[in-house]
Amino acid sequence: MSTSDVVVTGLGATTPLGGDVSSTWDALLAGRSGVSRITDDWIKEYPAQLVARLSTEPSEQLDRVRARRLDRSQQVAVVAAEEAWRDSGAGDAGVDPLRIAVVIGTGIGGALTLLGQDDVLEEKGPKRVSPFTIPMLMPNGPAAAVGLSIGAKGGVHAPVSACASGAEAVRWGLDLLRLDRADVVLVGGTEACVHPLPMAGFAAMRAMSTRNDEPERASRPFDKARDGFVLGEGAAALVLEREDSARARGARIHARLAGAAGTADGYDLVAPHPEGEGAARAITAALRDAGLSPTDIGHVNAHATSTPVGDTAEAAAIRSAIGDHVLVSATKSQTGHLLGAAGALESVFAILALREQIVPATANLENPDDDANVQALDIVRGEPRRATLTAAVNDSFGFGGHNIALVFTTA
């Protein structure tokens, strides 16, 4: 196994806060919310009516004919990936296409295409179903579309682990580089499933916030009055390379990806282990993988979706695996929950926190939960906080008991 460090040379995102990384980051630090109330007729019967829609429609960022052959989850993946690819400069560096790989995860896949074409089938019959239905709905479609876009021939992969998918993609990228299976890996996550069926499904699980009259205050991780997550859409991407080759080509290095680990709860299909046992194991294993100790970690970008059970389980995991000294941010308070894109977007945020030495605030955290672990943690709120940071953790968890922890360090 190669022991060369892996670095992050490119970042891309399109989110409810902005159509690229810089506008998203600026909006995050400014405390803006991406959440709004759905006003379509179909929402009337729904208990949960909130959503964090993209700030910029992908149709404004992609050629029309290209866009119409891509599911929305693929469109946003391509937008984020192309930004990251441009940012890295790897496209102009003469990298052998056989040594470029892509790993893009999604939680749900092409749900809008699946459901939209089912409507066509019901209304007009099988002959009217689009010939692009299958490539648009398949969960590897976003990875494949990104691979075509950047000319990757060294392998295109699509991890699927619900809301941990984006983080899992980052981990796979690290593994591919350490195993010398590629020289450059574009990793990320994507999701775009704002539609009556997923909304109804999540609502039936009682997983979504019903604070319909106060959209911007609905996503409130760690707050006593939290009542569920807000569904978001978007994508984020990172370009990973080994440090020696990145430095040799003069690439700008945003941060290092120092370690990663994944575990399974082995507890319940959807409920997290109440003490965050599997999550803590993932964090501890990722620190070991990075060769760091808990005291090295200055910041955690938490998964914290604003559900009653999930946030306290995570607080327990962060305390047991790292301690009370870290500055914790729950950025879903502003972005909503981007499901399969969340881990990638929050990796981008953790990297920018390290690069800019500033920790984003957790919006809507007015009264921290009475839970002892939540009370003990230093969750940044009010304003972003300046801090001297050398290492940060991003953790992500998914229905199915998937836990991924990633460790980033300063360049």
Cβ contact 344:167 at 8 Å: yes
x/- map, 124-153, other proteins, by CB under 8 A: ---xx-xxx---------------------
| Residues in 183-222 that interact with other proteins by CB under 8 A | none
Pick one of 3, 64, 125, 126: the residue that binds other proteins (CB under 8 A).
64
In the complex, what is the shortest distance from the CB of residue 148 to other proteins, in angstroms, rounded to a whole number? Answer: 13
Report strand pairing: 378-379 vs 358-359: unpaired
Residue 59 binding other proteins, by CB under 8 A: no
Least separation in angstroms between residue 66's CB and other proteins is 8
- Residue 120 binds other proteins (CB under 8 A): no
Judge contact between 400 and 161, C-beta under 8 A.
yes
Instruction: Please say which residue, 37 or 69, places its beta carbon nearer to other proteins.
Output: 69
Beta-strand runs (E) in 70-134: 100-106
CA 281 to chain centre: 20
Yes or no: say if 301 and 350 are a contact pair by the CB < 8 Å rule: yes
Backbone angles phi, psi at 291, to 5 degrees: 70, 30
For residue 260, list its beta bridge partners.
406
Instruction: Say if residues 207 and 307 touch (Cβ distance below 8 Å).
Output: yes
Count the residues in the chain.
411
Q: Residue 65 interacts with other proteins (CB under 8 A)?
A: yes
Known catalytic residues are: 163, 303, 337
Using the contact rule CB under 8 A, the part of the chain among 20-28, 101-109, 123-131, 348-356 near other proteins is 123-131
Among 40, 41, 63, 119, interactor with other proteins by CB under 8 A: 63
- Measured from the CB atom, the residue of 128 and 325 that comes closer to other proteins is 128
330, 221 Cβ separation under 8 angstroms: yes
Judged by beta carbon, residue 66 or residue 206, the one nearer other proteins is 66
**Is 44 a residue that touches other proteins (CB under 8 A)?**
no
Q: Which two tokens stand for residue 84?
A: 């990251």
Q: Say whether residue 386 binds other proteins (CB under 8 A).
A: no
Summarize as ranges the residues that interact with other proteins (CB under 8 A): 63-65, 127-128, 130-132
